[in-house]
Amino acid sequence: MSGSSLQFDERDNVFAREDLKPGTPEYEEMYRRHPQWKACDDHIRSLPGLGAYVSAADMAMFNAPSWLMERIGAPDIVDGQPAPERVEITPERATMKVKSLARRLGSDLVGISLMNPAYAYSHRGRMIYPEEPWGEKITVGHRYAVSLGFREDLDLVRTGPYHGEMMETGLVYLRSAVTSVALAGYIRMLGYSARAHHFRNYQLLPVPLAVEAGLGELGRCGFLLTREFGNCLRLSTVTTDLPLICDRPVDIGVDDFCNRCKLCAEVCPSQAISKGGKVNVRGVMKWQIDPVKCLSYWNRVGTDCGVCIGSCPWTEPDNTFHRTAAKVASKSKWSRIFLLWIYPIIYGKYRPKTLPDWLNPRADTLFSGD
Ligand code: SF4
Ligand code: SF4
């Protein structure tokens, strides 16, 4: 790892490593610094890859949102100069406006925290935009981070590891990107610096910031777990200097629940999720998935899987029964034990849902669940 020991270097991210082309200076430098990763990364690059077994008609439904997302991830779209005249506004009023606009733009959850510099990447790793070259040092100077959560369609996510899940992920990432770009643009129009961070162009880790902003807690599966939607959501972030009122982290009982549960680890088709305890990651104790095992599975079966989302007991339809169950689970250890006992009795083992009619079925079987 490079940079501050607390920061994550985007070059070390498995997606950034997957992008590296043999023979390029970036490839040579990466495996000079990390020779232990070369064999597994070469193996990942040799696999069929996302979309390999998805029909052209369906794959275009995934590629179209990705195409637009890439355009609105360009450095001059996610960032820009603030208006020369500042609008005078109290932090309370600004917070109300920012949260309301975010929701109007499509965000299901909004929270605000200080921008913890430990959660900024130390160096650029993706090679999407020439203006942001591989290895460039990253500095996020803003004081505040607005975390935005976007719910995914549970029926589509539960087709995972078939490609209905992948379609939904791409679409919701686009929504999260559009909202973050428009919200950052709004703040700059008020005369304050602001930058959008979304799937095509992050300078930071959105999950720990969302935890600090009170959207939920980090689960065993490596995703944010929220009381409202479980882990069935995607995130984007806006960082800014506009003075805002911060939210507080929440304790909804995820630590205790995930300690007892392990359902996602049992059904993960690549055994990427640990059944053990938390480990020390850059000075923080947390659950850590194995991203190489996870991405290898994606590239082997040609979809981004999502079984750990569809199988999580927190990820249930938004109805009175499940809202009550989540509320109760947040408050008492005994109710968590009871819910964990009864959940498999009611729902059984995870089984992917059938793809909807508007997607072409796959001929092979990806997941038996046994
Ligand atoms: S996406 Fe699939 S392979 Fe990756 S951790 Fe989740 S369940 Fe495992
Ligand atoms: S499936 Fe269970 S262990 Fe995994 S994230 Fe959800 S609650 Fe935690």
Question: Nearest residue CA, atom 1 of ligand 2?
Answer: 312
- Does an H or E element contain 46, and which? helix 38-46
Domain that holds residue 123: 56-240
The answer to whether the CB of 253 is under 6 A from ligand 1 is: no
pLDDT score, position 185: 98
157 and 185 in a single domain? The answer is yes
Residue that finishes a domain, picked among 196, 212, 240: 240
- How many folded domains does the chain comprise? 2
Atom of ligand 1 nearest to the CA of 161: 2
Atom of ligand 1 nearest to the CA of 271: 8
Residues 6+ apart with CB under 8 A from 345: none
Decide: 100 and 207 in contact? Cβ < 8 Å.
no
Residue that finishes a domain, picked among 186, 207, 240: 240
Decide: 225 and 217 in contact? Cβ < 8 Å.
yes
121 and 234 in a single domain? The answer is yes
pLDDT of 1 > 70? The answer is no
The answer to whether the CB of 296 is under 6 A from ligand 1 is: no
Decide: 289 and 331 in contact? Cβ < 8 Å.
no
Mean pLDDT, the chain, as a whole number?
94
Q: Which residues pair with 109 in a beta bridge?
A: 149
177 and 314 in a single domain? The answer is no
Mean of pLDDT values over 103-126: 97
Total H helices, total E strands in the chain: 15, 8
What is d(CA 158, CA 135) in angstroms, rounded to the nearest whole number? 37
SS3 301: helix
Residue 263 DSSP code: H
What is d(CA 233, CA 230) in angstroms, rounded to the nearest whole number? 8
Does residue 247 form part of some domain?
Answer: no
137 and 230 in a single domain? The answer is yes
Mean of pLDDT values over 119-123: 97
Of all ligands present, the nearest one to the C-alpha of 219 is: 2
196 and 136 in a single domain? The answer is yes
Atom of ligand 1 nearest to the CA of 270: 3
163 and 233 in a single domain? The answer is yes
Question: Two tokens at 250?
Answer: 């929440």
Does residue 112 form part of some domain?
Answer: yes
160 and 263 in a single domain? The answer is no
Q: Among 314, 315, 337, name the best residue to mutate to test ligand 2's pocket (greatest count of ligand atoms within 8 A of Cβ).
A: 314
Q: Using N-to-C axis directions, what is the helix angle for 164-189 and 56-71, rounded to 10°? A: 20
Condensed to tens digits (0 to 9), the pLDDT of residues 140-153 reads: 999 999 999 999 99
Q: Range with the lowest mean pLDDT among 3-12, 130-139, 141-150, 300-309? A: 3-12
pLDDT score, position 369: 57
88 and 213 in a single domain? The answer is yes
The answer to whether the CB of 268 is under 6 A from ligand 1 is: yes
258 and 294 in a single domain? The answer is yes
Fill in the amino acid letter for 234. R
150 and 295 in a single domain? The answer is no
122 and 224 in a single domain? The answer is yes
